Structure 1
Amino acid sequence: MAYKEYGMWEVQEVLRRLDRGESQVHVATATGRDRKTVRHYLRLAAEFGWRPGDGEPDESLAVRILERLRPGAKEDERGESEQLLFPHRDQIQRWLGGSEGERGLTLTKVHGLLGRQGVRVPYSSLHRFAAQHCEFGRSRSTIRCAETKPGEVSQIDFGRLGYVFDPETERRKLLWALVVILVYSRHMFVHVTSRQRLEDVIDGLELAWEFFGGVTARVIEDNLRAAISKADRYEPVFQRTFHEYAKHRGFVIDPAVAYHPKGKPHVERQVPYVRENFFRGETWLNPEHVQRDAIRWCRETAGTRVHGTTRRRPLAVFEEEEKSELLPFVGERFDTPRWSDCKVHPDRCVLFGKALYSVPDQYHDKSVTVRGDRHLVRIHFQGKLIKTHATQPPGGRSIDYADYPQEKSVYARRDSDYMVAQGKKLGPSVGRFTERLLAGDFPWAKLRQAQKLQRLAQKYGSERLEEACARALAFDLVNVRRVETILLDALRRPSPLPASEPLPLPLPARFLRPDGSFNHHRTSEGDTD
Structure 2
Amino acid sequence: MGCGAHTASSDYGLPCLPSPTREEALVTKNSRRRMMERKIVEMLVAGTGVNQIAEQLHVSKARLRRLRELAKQYRYLDDAGQPGQVPLPSYPEALFPDTVDKRSLQVSEAHQRLASKHAWIRDCLQAGWHFVSVWEELSAQGITGVSRSSFYRYIENHQLTRLGETYRRVVPEIVHKPGEALLLDWGKLRDVVDPVTSKKRTLWFFAGVLGFSRLLVLRLVWRIDTETTLRALESMLRELGGVPARLTMDNPKCVAIEASPYEPILNPAMERFAAHYGVLVEALPPRDPQKKGKIERPVPFIRRLYESHGEAWHGIEESQEFLDRKLVLANQRRHGTTLRRPQQLFAEIEAPALKQLPALAYDIEQYHEGTVRQDGHVRFANKYYSVDEKHIGAEVVVLGGSKLVSIYRGGRLLEVHDRLWDPNRSKSTKPYHLKPWERAMADDSYYRERARKLGPAVEEMVLRIIRKGQGFIDTRVIFGLMSLDKSYKAAEIDTACRQALATDSLSWRWVKGLLDAARGAEAERARAAAVPAPPPAAKPRAAYAHVRSMAVYEEQMQLFKNGSPDDIGGWMH
- For the residue of structure 2 that corresponds to 1:324, the secondary structure is helix
Matching residue of 1:245:
273
Q: Is it true that 1:155 corresponds to 2:180 in the alignment?
A: no
Residue of structure 1 aligned with 2:327, choices 289, 298, 306: 298
Tell me the SS of whatever aligns to 1:274.
helix
Letter in 2 for 1:397: S
- What is residue 301 of structure 2 aligned with on the other side? 273
C-alpha displacement at 1:221, in angstroms?
A: 0.7
Matches within 5 A, 1:118-517: 140=168, 142-145=170-173, 147-282=175-310, 283-299=312-328, 301-330=329-358, 331-338=360-367, 340=369, 343=372, 345-346=374-375, 349-358=377-386, 370-378=398-406, 383=412, 387-392=416-421, 396-399=425-428, 404=434, 408=438, 430=458, 444=472, 447-448=475-476, 450-454=478-482, 462-467=490-495, 469=497, 478-479=511-512, 486=519
Give me the CA root mean square deviation.
Answer: 5.0
Tell me the CA shift for residue 256 of structure 1. 2.7
**What is the CA distance between 1:425 and its match in structure 2?**
9.5
Amino acid aligned to 1:161 = L
* Aligned 8 A contact 1:357 1:389 in 2: no
Are the aligned partners of 2:276 and 2:362 in contact in 1 as well (CA < 8 Å)? no
What runs of 5+ residues in structure 1 fail to find an aligned partner?
A: 1-95, 117-135, 494-529
Contact 1:345 1:364 in 2 (8 A): no
Q: What amino acid does structure 1 have at the position aligned with 2:288? A: H
Amino acid in the other structure paired with 1:261: P
8 Å contact 1:401–1:409 — kept in the other structure? no
1:298 Cα offset (Å): 1.7
Judged with a 3 Å threshold, the aligned counterparts in structure 2 of structure 1 residues 380 and 187 are, in CA distance, closer, same or farther, namely closer
**Aligned-pair CA distance for 1:183:** 1.4
CA distance in 2, matches of 1:401, 1:232: 35
Once the two structures are TM-superposed, the CA of residue 325 in structure 1 deviates from its matched residue by 0.5
- Which is further off, 310-319 or 105-114? 105-114
Is 2:417–2:428's contact at 8 Å kept on the other side of the alignment?
Answer: no
**SS of corresponding position for 1:479:** helix
The equivalent of 2:135 in structure 1 is 107
- Tell me the distance in 2 between the aligned counterparts of 1:480 and 1:364: 49
Task: Tell me, in whole angstroms, the C-alpha distance in 1 between the residues paired with 2:422 and 2:440.
Answer: 26
The equivalent residue for 1:513 is none
Q: Displacement, 1:482?
A: 5.4
d(CA) in 1 for partners of 2:514, 2:301: 86
Percent identity between the two aligned chains? 25
Deviation at 1:212, TM superposition (A): 1.1
What is the Cα deviation at residue 451 of structure 1? 2.2
Query: Distance in 2 between the 1:177 and 1:306 partners?
Result: 23
Q: SS at the partner of 2:346?
A: helix
TM-score, structure 1 normalization: 0.55
Alpha-carbon distance in structure 2 between the residues aligned to 1:232 and 1:262: 16
Q: Offset at 1:165?
A: 4.6
Larger deviation, residues 272-281 vs 349-358: 349-358
CA distance in 2, matches of 1:179, 1:366: 38
Deviation of residue 273 (structure 1)?
Answer: 0.7
Q: Distance in 1 between matches of 2:391 and 2:190?
A: 51
Contact 1:449 1:480 in 2 (8 A): no
Contact 1:433/1:478, CA 8 A, preserved across alignment = no
TM-score (norm 2): 0.52
| CA deviation after TM superposition for structure 1 residue 405, in Å | 6.8
- Kindly tell me: are residues 138 and 434 of structure 1, through their superposed partners in 2, closer, same or farther at Cα, counting changes over 3 Å? same
Q: Indicate the residue corresponding to 1:67 in structure 2.
A: none
**Corresponding residue SS for 1:177:** strand
